[in-house]
Amino acid sequence: MRTRTTALTAATALIAGLGTTAYATPPTPTTTPPARPLAGMRILISNDDSMQAAKASNSDGLGLYELRRAVCAAGADVVVMAPWQVQSGRGTAVTNGGVLNVQQRTELPAAYRGDCSGAPSGGKVFGVCLADGPCGPDTPSATPADTVKLALRGGLAARAGWADGPDLVLTGINSGWNVSASVNDSGTVGAAVAAIDAGVPAVAFSSSGDRDFTSFPLVNYRAHAEFGARFVAGLKEEGLLTDEFAVKVDYPDVSEGQRAKPPVWTRVGDGAVAFHAYERQGTGDAFRIVLGLCDGTGECAETRPDADSTWVQRGHITVAPLTWDRTYGTSVEGRRELKQLERYVERDAPRS
């Protein structure tokens, strides 16, 4: 609970101490400075949508800039190191050879240019491409996991002066949910897993698109970013930032004026929301990759009552813990932290 205090001005205190009626000009009202609950934190942001933010559909990195804006406003020192091109669906893939170029973006999208001007690092934004030279419009991109591994293994020290690395890695905000089967494909999740694999706490954020997922409204990103900054501040305040597991946060569609429903502690679902199909082109060797939305039947069917996909489609913010450990049947590590996080989500996390 935050305690509010009121200070008397010197003149008011003197008058009060006289014990007689007195008249004075009321003090000029002061504006309460904005809360900065993330002050002192160094935060690396990456994603799998790139740092371009140029498409009308808002599917190529606009969410990253909204997240950057929100955490800078909360007082964090922020550096972005993200894929040069869209890398959606790359999971935990890494590049095994060649040269990665970390190129600073000096001309940011107009709406976001001043967001981090007061931060020690100035909110620098870097795109990472696969090139022994400058990144161009068609230059191949680093993967999401590449960007985090590079950042933590020398990139941040060389390009931002963070010799000790970040305190936290945030990934996203992704254009579209990463729930159920898509979690395995998600570069947003893959980048967060790369962070905890290196011993740095991580939170992965993904937001809904519009009704048919053809575009991703700014209002969804903004609502999620503002929630996300408060959510992370709560994790910090409660001592819940841990590298035992990553935290995945998915946000519902609020673009038609509805409010997000309270956060729910979930598991990754065993069904699917979207699927990949492969259509043969004629009688040859080529197959076209087609993406579609599931109808809830067959391999898309969800059987877990606490599935992330179920609750986010009902309008709730969903939170799920993820780990790098793919060993089936292994004992749960970080059990105490896990229980504390579940309690925080259910009782104390921001409501929307």
pLDDT digits (tens, 9 = 90+) for 9-42: 333 332 233 333 333 444 454 555 567 999 999 9
**Is residue 6 predicted with pLDDT exceeding 50?**
no
Average pLDDT estimate for 184-196: 97
Eight-class DSSP state of 307: B
Q: Residue 274: its pLDDT value, please?
A: 85
pLDDT digits (tens, 9 = 90+) for 43-66: 999 999 999 999 999 999 999 999
Q: Residue 295: its pLDDT value, please?
A: 84
Nearest to 105, CA basis, from 96, 115, 113, 95: 113
What's the CA gap between 263 and 352, in Å, rounded? 8
What's the CA gap between 343 and 349, in Å, rounded? 9
**Is residue 292 predicted with pLDDT exceeding 90?**
no
Look over the chain and give the mean of its residue pLDDT values, rounded to a whole number.
Answer: 90
From residue 191, alpha-carbon distances to 90, 103, 211, 222, 294 in Å are 10, 19, 27, 21, 26
* Percent of the chain whose predicted confidence (pLDDT) is above 90: 80
Tell me, rounded to whole angstroms, the distance of Cα 296 from its chain centroid.
27
CB 221: neighbour CB atoms within 10 A? 28
Q: Residue 35: its pLDDT value, please?
A: 78
pTM of the model: 0.88
pLDDT digits (tens, 9 = 90+) for 93-148: 999 999 999 999 999 999 999 999 999 999 999 999 999 999 999 999 999 999 99
- What count of Cα atoms within 13 Å lies in the side-chain half-sphere of residue 218? 8
Nearest to 73, CA basis, from 47, 103, 101, 36: 36
Q: Residue 32: its pLDDT value, please?
A: 54
